[in-house]
């Protein structure tokens, strides 16, 4: 016996849902709504990343961003090395952090210097954040605060037994910053040729060189020790310090442009 299928009209075939329709990933299906939501989430993530990139570019538009980036890098590396070394000695993290920040007179002086340097970096950032160019008054506030920080840095280096670095990275740096805060760019300075770069900005930049040289030599002499199985911190510490000084030196160079700009503005009035 043969079975006959009932005739199906063309309209019935069009109205009947197909298999593809039954298993389609529509938002109305339970448990599958996330398929449609992924593009929205990725869009929000991209917008957040774009906002973060814009904030970073704004921060790095002037010397303040480079100063504070070096400050953050040095602080984080110092804390990391302190915590890593304290584990081997059986010291708890809180105690190791206290020792790093205020465990001695030198550590406390260095912490105070770092805090003041952060404030000066913020002053520089705000001086350069306006659309009309760097604000000379805020720049001078940054110079003055940086000079105070340099004094504390010099005290810390002296207490740590580094008199040469205390004289350069501390005293010479402070004199250059205080001079930049008080000296009007373009004004005559006894014994300094008019065509040369700003004497006080030059003093600040020059104060970086001994510390950069010391960090480089320390990293080079530590390489054989690390190669022989010594701690990686022997190289990481001076290399991080060198990176910090390079960032600070670049910020110093940016401040030369503000001095030149003030001279041009003064001469055109």
DSSP state string for 204-229 = HHHHHHHHHHHHHHHHHHHHHHHHTT
Summarize pLDDT for 126-149 with one digit per residue, the tens: 999 888 778 999 999 999 999 999
Q: Which residue has the higher pLDDT, 79 or 94?
A: 79
Does residue 141 contact residue 177 with C-beta atoms inside 8 Å?
no
pLDDT band at 163 (very low <50, low <70, confident <90, very high): very high
DSSP 59: H
Q: Kindly report the backbone phi and psi dihedral angles of residue 192, in degrees, each rounded to the nearest multiple of 5, phi listed first.
A: -120, 115
**Tokens 């960032």 sit on residue:** 247
CB 154 within 8 A of CB 167: yes
| pLDDT at 2 > cutoff 50 | no
Rounded Cα gap, residues 131 and 121, in angstroms? 19
Around Cβ 36, how many Cβ atoms within 10 Å?
A: 11
| pLDDT confidence bin for 266, thresholds 50/70/90 | very low
> Residues with Cβ < 8 Å from 65, sequence gap 6 or more?
59, 121, 125
d(CA 64, CA 118): 9
* pTM confidence score: 0.77
Interval 211-237: pLDDT, tens: 999 999 999 999 999 999 888 889 999
Q: What is the reported pLDDT for 193? A: 84
- Per-residue pLDDT tens over the stretch 176-216: 999 999 987 667 777 788 788 999 999 999 999 999 999 99
Per-residue pLDDT at 194: 78
With 50 as the cut, is the pLDDT of residue 265 above it?
A: no
Cα distances (Å, whole numbers) of residue 28 to 23, 33, 38, 105: 12, 7, 16, 67
What distance in Å separates the CA atoms of residue 257 and residue 263, rounded to the nearest whole number? 10
Q: Based on the number of CB atoms within 10 Å of its own CB, is 123 exposed (0-12), middle (13-18) or buried (19 or more)?
A: buried
């Amino acid at each position: 016996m043969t079975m006959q299928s009932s005739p199906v009209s063309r309209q019935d075939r069009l109205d009947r849902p197909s298999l593809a329709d039954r298993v389609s990933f529509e938002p109305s299906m339970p448990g599958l709504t996330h398929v449609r939501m992924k593009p929205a989430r990725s869009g929000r993530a991209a917008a957040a990343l774009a906002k973060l990139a814009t904030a970073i570019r704004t921060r790095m538009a002037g010397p303040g961003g480079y100063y504070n980036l070096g400050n953050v890098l040095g602080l984080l590396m110092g804390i990391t090395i302190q915590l890593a070394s304290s584990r081997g000695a059986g010291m708890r993290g809180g105690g190791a952090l206290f020792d790093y920040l205020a465990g001695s007179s030198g550590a406390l002086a260095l912490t105070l210097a770092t805090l003041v340097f952060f404030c000066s970096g913020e002053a520089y950032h705000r001086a350069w954040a306006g659309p009309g160019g760097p604000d000379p008054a805020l720049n001078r506030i940054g110079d003055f605060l940086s000079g105070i920080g340099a004094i504390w840095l010099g005290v810390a280096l002296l207490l740590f037994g580094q008199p040469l670095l205390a004289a350069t990275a501390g005293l010479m740096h402070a004199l250059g910053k205080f001079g930049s805060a008080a000296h009007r760019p373009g004004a005559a300075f006894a014994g300094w040729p008019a065509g040369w770069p700003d004497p006080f900005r030059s003093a600040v930049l020059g104060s970086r060189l001994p510390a950069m040289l010391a960090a480089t030599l320390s990293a080079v002499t530590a390489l054989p020790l690390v190669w022989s199985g010594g701690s990686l911190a022997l190289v990481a510490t001076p290399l991080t310090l060198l990176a910090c000084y390079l960032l600070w030196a670049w910020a110093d160079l940016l401040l030369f442009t503000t001095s030149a700009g003030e001279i041009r503005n003064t001469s055109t009035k």
